[in-house]
Amino acid sequence: MAHQNSNEPLADLTQLGQSNLTGDTRALYLKLFSGEMFKGFQNNTIARDLVMKRTLRNGKSLQFIYTGRTTSEFHTPGNSILGNSDGAPPVAEKTITCDDLLISSAFVYELDEILAHYDLRSEISRKIGYALAEKYDRLIFRAIARGARQASPVSATGFTEPGGTQVRVGSSANESDAYSSSALVSAFYDAAAAMDEKGVSGDGRVAVLNPRQYYELIQAVGTNGLVNRDVQGSALQGGNGIIEIAGIRIYKSMNIPFLGNYGTKYGGTTGVNDPLNTGDFVGAALEDAGDAATGINNDYGTAAEFGSKSCGLIFQREAAGCVEAIGPQVQVTSGDTSIIYQGDVIVGRLAMGADYLNPAACVELIVGSDPSVDGSGVVDTTGAAAF
């Protein structure tokens, strides 16, 4: 019933965004948005759960300790046992530093929210999550690719520890070899054998390929030697038909270093595999991300270091480490700030850092005759075994 008398009390307003009828009238709205943002992040990052992730607290970096191999010997009766004469096992360390705060933000004008016929904040939240997840994966995958070219951190004189591995896909100088299902299957078995020979655990082995490589393998199921696969039919048509090759579980991503780009590049010296109309793609050229780059405190390599030869990654969980000081979070302005600007600034943020840990657990798939040549024209052979 409408109040005719101005002295009558106004009707009580139901605050749908208020928790237990007290406090901030937008408190519940913030929680809903936070969930949307994290969902957008989690659904689009795969590297986070494939490597060794640690939480960083009360410090700027995290130390990882390596122990090398030791030897055994027969005991001579009467001799004291005081440890191996060579002091084995040797010990080394690797330190991963947290990079600067990574953010993605948007300003949402309140009037736009009122006039929009769709859920504006939910859509923006997903895009913020995508942006953070994309950078997260790209940094970790670059670290793994660099690890495949490195020697072991254990470098004591008289001790030999295995370094990283590069496996060549195909035998020609053409980039189109990266899309050959038979060449990829052979490379998988070579990579598995190399990791076996270097003493890398068989648990947690995965591969990350460009989507076109992944779908090329699916199309050739039944003819390319794949034995561990999902059922065909609907699962195959849904893009989930391949489970693993040589015990290596396969993922696809647009965020691996791929022929000088992220994810997307058509190969073939004569136009093979090129579509009639390429249009625009999400993939972009690799950027410089060395330790001198703004906001970077670890070395993820320059664009020139990757050249145009890298075409996939195979690795085990120990290949790389990731430290998180701030996990994916969302912050939204409110109160006086919202009143002044008649809208809210929405910020997604995280603080992380990544680097390779055990080079022996890193395998980089490459194409071309000189796969290890970086942008300076110098062949990188430090610790890397090329097949």
Percentage with pLDDT > 90 across the chain: 26
Query: E strands along the chain, which residues?
Result: 52-55, 61-67, 91-97, 102-109, 165-168, 206-209, 228-229, 242-245, 248-252, 257-258, 261-262, 310-315, 320-332, 343-356, 362-366, 385-386
Q: Domains in the chain: how many in total?
A: 1
Alpha-carbon distance 244 to 185, whole Å?
Answer: 10
186 within a domain of the structure (yes/no) = yes
Query: Is pTM, for the whole model, over 0.75?
Result: yes
Average pLDDT, integer, range 144-150: 94
pLDDT tens-digit series, residues 305-338 = 887 889 999 999 999 999 999 888 888 888 887 8
Mean pLDDT, residues 79-96:
77
Whether the Cβ atoms of residue 387 and residue 193 lie closer than 8 Å to each other: no
Q: What is the pLDDT of residue 334?
A: 80
What does the alpha-carbon distance between residue 2 and residue 58 come to, in Å, rounded to a whole number?
59
The answer to the question of residue 364 being in a domain is: yes
260: domain CATH number is: 3.90.1690
The better pLDDT of the pair 148, 59 is held by: 148
How far is residue 387 CA from its own chain's centroid?
Answer: 25
pLDDT in tens, 97-125: 999 999 999 888 888 877 776 677 788 88
Q: Residue 160 belongs to what domain range? A: 27-66+90-268+286-386
* Residue of 138, 82, 186, 178 whose CA lies nearest to 285: 138
Distance CA 296, CA 142 (A): 13
What is the average pLDDT score of the chain?
A: 79
Looking at the domain assignment, is residue 32 inside a domain?
yes
- Residue 290, exposed/middle/buried by CB under 10 A (0-12, 13-18, 19+)? middle
Residue 16 is assigned to a structural domain of this protein: no
Question: Where is mean pLDDT largest: 1-5, 18-22, 139-143, 211-215?
Answer: 139-143
Question: Is residue 7 situated within a structural domain?
Answer: no
Q: Could you tell me if residue 41 is inside a domain?
A: yes
- Indicate the DSSP class of residue 28: H
- How do residues 221-280 score in pLDDT, each as one tens digit? 666 666 555 545 555 555 455 678 888 999 989 899 998 888 877 665 544 555 666 666
Least confident of 91-95, 99-103, 135-139: 91-95
Q: Is residue 73 part of a domain?
A: no
Number of H helices, E strands in the chain: 8, 16
% residues pLDDT > 70 (the chain):
75
Domain presence at residue 114: yes
Give residue-wise pLDDT tens across range 14-52: 666 677 777 776 666 655 566 666 677 777 788 888 998
User: What sign does the CA torsion over 359, 361, 365, 370 have?
Assistant: positive
pLDDT digits (tens, 9 = 90+) for 187-206: 999 999 999 999 999 999 99
